[in-house]
Structure 1
């Protein structure tokens, strides 16, 4: 039996398509249509007992997610309450119930925010900068300690930006702009590189980690293994949608200036900067390669409504 949290989220929804529903128990606030076993659970409430007696593998996808403009009075405490304390509570219950393996979907933000001017991130690095990344990093550390104490196998997966059909936020907005044929000022942003991962490749890796013996007590970075500049990303979005690539050569220095003047430096840094991950360890340890090319992933994402 496999227990899954975050089953109604972007990653969890795709995961349910690839796993036998007869082998699943869903943990969350609302049951979903289908023949799934379900137990009520609220990640922000640590005082809840779960029946995990039949569970062998636990896949923890739920989280308090990163928000660009978080107006919480004390965001670090709110992230820790869910992502750190809530996760440890789940894992502790899983260990007591005899669950063999706990798979934690973390984030590349545990590594940091940028690889501009440096080598790609690797799985051994940990330098989070924002409350979300810090809460996930602390969860990772506590999970690994719990695994050492109890013998439950811990698997940690750190994805960068995850995209696919139904994705929202900036990726979806950019895809729509390209589809509408608007001239976009991104042709000169061609020296940066960003790692992405389609939800299809991420779910495939999660499935491998459910059973692969070499996954135990490891941290894995994941990507499509094909990094793109912003200009290349826009070009590929145009190609998969059958549109002309209408981009203008606006210098990156103007983007940087606009970011400072408008107070949008973080957004601009993501647009013109680099964030790359090295998945050599993942591929070698698990004998895994991403089954979907980045072009396949973009084609499926083009169904965004």
Structure 2
């Protein structure tokens, strides 16, 4: 008899990819929870509409018979915040909504709750030679990271009280076919031949392809050593911004045009424009250590950075030609 797994945020970037993989892999009856009834599900995935994610959401129907729950739904980090109280807005969804779901899940007999958190719980940057680890002291600095950290803490407290197993996965920047936001913008800049002032940047950042993130989540669904643990999702291959743009250019068939503008000038310009946060993401370093994944789960990223970028660029070009 197939076990039932529930994936929240099933129409999102990560949730939809996870649902597709689970449906193809077999072994689970896959149920996707979505906010709107018109959301499309991959073949072999049933859907249940739950509306907004907050402390009043009724998960009764969605949780019926569920053994494992993967919670990808969230209020995500946004570039142009419109809420008057950003932290309150994030807490309403990412803390109150998550813990409300978890309490109902525990009451419904869910065995394991896999929570997709964020590397922002660890912080915004790493020091040279000191990559961030899953068991480091958390240091969130923005509203999104704080809300994810508070949700993690609440989940582990609930696990101790109820016996429901909790696993936390903190992805770094996720890219893959269909990626949006900053990564999509970078591909668009390179594809158009726009000169980019990043040739003199010497940073190191960890990334994770969508395929590698989904594979790590799959490992966390059943592995007995995953319960009660935090894992960081990464490709295990750190890259500088110039190297990343050059690699994207090779995959797109359009060499990246990089200008060697001094980093201090770029930081100054970003500060004058009120975009210090964007400058940190582009110019700063954020490296992570995924040794724990290998030691506890026997997990290594199945895809290389090259393979992940190839799939991402191929999807981008296909969509450009439609």
Bin for the TM-score computed over the shorter chain = over 0.9
Contact 2:172 2:208 in 1 (8 A): yes
Match of 2:191 among 160, 165, 179: 179
Of stretches 67-76 and 141-150 in structure 1, the one that deviates more from structure 2 is 67-76
8 Å CA contact 1:46–1:85 kept in 2: the answer is: no
Q: Residue deviations 1:135-169, cap 9 Å, x none?
A: 11000000001111111110000001101111111
What is the DSSP-based 3-state SS (H/G/I as helix, E as strand, rest coil) of the residue aligned with 1:250?
coil
Q: Which residue number corresponds to residue 5 of structure 1? A: 8
Q: Is the 8 A contact 1:5 1:61 kept in 2?
A: yes
Corresponding residue number in structure 2 for 1:62: 73
Counterpart of 2:265? 254
In the alignment, which of 191, 195, 200 is matched to residue 188 of structure 1? 200
* Map of 1:27 onto structure 2: 33
Question: Using the alignment, how far apart are the partners of 1:77 and 1:181 within structure 2?
Answer: 41
Structure 1 equivalent of residue 148 of structure 2? 136
The match for 1:43 among 37, 45, 53 is 53
> Quick check: 1:215 aligned with 2:226?
yes
Q: Secondary structure at 1:56's aligned position in 2? A: strand
- Using the alignment, how far apart are the partners of 1:167 and 1:224 within structure 2? 16
> C-alpha distance in 2, partners of 1:35/1:278?
35
Task: Give the unaligned 5+ runs of structure 2.
Answer: none
1:266 partner SS: helix
Which stretch shifts more, 287-296 or 251-260?
251-260
Residue 7 of structure 2 contacts residue 19 of structure 2 at CA under 8 Å; is this kept in 1?
A: no
Structure 1 window deviating more from structure 2 (71-80 vs 222-231): it is 71-80
Bigger drift between 195-204 and 63-72 goes to 63-72
Q: Distance in 1 between matches of 2:235 and 2:262?
A: 28
User: What is the alpha-carbon root mean square deviation over aligned residues?
Assistant: 1.6
Distance in 2 separating the partners of 1:117 and 1:263: 26
Give the secondary structure class of the aligned counterpart of 2:123.
coil
Shift of 1:120: 1.3
**Quick check: 2:165–2:227 contact (8 Å CA) kept in 1?**
yes
Give the superposition deviation at 1:116. Answer: 4.1
Distance in 2 separating the partners of 1:196 and 1:35: 30
Equivalent residues of 1:39, 1:50 under 8 A apart: no
Alignment partner of 1:79 is 2:90: yes
| Aligned: 1:120 with 2:123 | no
TM-score when scaled to structure 1? 0.95
Matched, 1:274 2:285: yes
Match of 1:93 in 2: 104
In structure 2, relative to structure 1, the CA distance for the partners of 1:272 and 1:29 (3 Å cut) is closer
Q: Specify which of 177, 180, 188 is matched with residue 165 of structure 1.
A: 177
1 CA distance for matches of 2:80 and 2:70?
A: 29
Shift of 1:28: 2.3
Structure 2 residue 21 is matched with structure 1 residue 18: yes
